[in-house]
Amino acid sequence: MGAAIIENNKRYWKWFDDYAYDADEDFEQIGKAFDETNNVTLGETGNAKCRIFNMKAGVDFAGKWLQKNRFKT
């Protein structure tokens, strides 16, 4: 798969690997694992149940989880 990107003020076509994955299943598994190992505060906003956590910690955790569990090479 590829995409046009701007690099050094010039437009280039860059190729990259694309992965087939089941996003719903991955996000559910990542969320469960993150809840078990990190500081997640449960709360409510209106009638919605919420999880409050540090966004960078969540993104970093998800990236590591995907590398370990999904994108094995």
Ordered per-residue pLDDT tens for the chain, 73 residues: 788 989 899 999 998 877 665 667 888 899 999 999 878 999 998 999 999 999 999 999 999 998 898 776 5
Given a contact cutoff of 8 angstroms between Cβ atoms, the answer to whether 1 and 36 are in contact is no
Given a contact cutoff of 8 angstroms between Cβ atoms, the answer to whether 44 and 50 are in contact is yes
Question: Domain segments of the chain: what residues?
Answer: 21-73
Largest Cα–Cα distance of the chain, in whole Å? 48
- Its pTM stands at 0.61
